[in-house]
């Protein structure tokens, strides 16, 4: 089962994991990203291009399925205005073995950060500013190019 959702609503991590748990599942690896409280950050707003974002995430998922024998996966990415402590993203991967689940989860998150078209804007001290891509995210994704 493959689930890709872009939504403004919060999500229930346990319920999403339960949907992936089948009799032949040996491992479920997850990553949950949250809005960090950094300095005077009051909110993070996320925007996307409907249709294009989902298509790019589907391409990333297809790539992961070519690399690992996955039994299912869920990607949920929130959009809209989020405050510190709120969940932004869930990547959950089911596989027969832990190494495939862990690696695919990391791969999916690294590529979501670098290839999925989301735009972030921070609110700090009453002012807003667009967030630039981080060099460290690009470096993390590079490690998958030769694997």
How confident is residue 13, by pLDDT bands cut at 50, 70 and 90?
very high
Are 85 and 30 contacting, i.e. CB atoms less than 8 angstroms apart? Answer: no
Phi, psi of 31 (to 5 degrees): -135, 130
Give yes or no for residue 119 having a pLDDT over 70: yes
How confident is residue 144, by pLDDT bands cut at 50, 70 and 90?
low
Residues 132 and 70: their CA atoms lie apart, in Å, by 32
CB atoms within 10 A of CB 127: 8
> What's the pLDDT tens digit per position in 48-70?
988 899 999 999 999 999 999 99
Average pLDDT of the segment spanning 1-15: 95
Architecture of domain 2-142: Alpha-Beta Complex (3.90)
All residues at 6 or more sequence positions from 61 whose CB lies less than 8 Å from its CB, including other chains: 2, 4, 73, 75, 108
Where are the domains positioned within the chain? 2-142
pLDDT at residue 138, rounded to an integer: 59
pLDDT at residue 132, rounded to an integer: 78
């Amino acid at each position: 089962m493959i689930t890709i959702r872009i939504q403004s609503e919060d999500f229930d991590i346990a319920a999403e994991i339960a949907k992936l748990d089948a009799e032949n599942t040996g491992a479920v690896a997850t990553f949950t990203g949250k809005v960090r409280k950094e300095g005077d950050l009051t909110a993070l707003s996320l925007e996307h291009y409907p249709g294009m974002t989902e298509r790019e995430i589907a391409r990333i998922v297809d790539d992961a399925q070519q690399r690992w024998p996955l039994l299912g996966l869920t990607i949920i990415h929130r959009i809209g205005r989020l405050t510190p402590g709120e969940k932004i993203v869930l990547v959950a991967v089911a596989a027969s073995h832990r190494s495939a689940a862990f690696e695919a989860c990391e791969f999916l998150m690294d590529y979501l950060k670098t290839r999925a078209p989301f735009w972030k804007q921070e609110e700090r001290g009453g002012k807003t500013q667009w967030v630039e891509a981080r060099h460290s995210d690009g470096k993390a994704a590079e490690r998958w190019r030769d694997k």
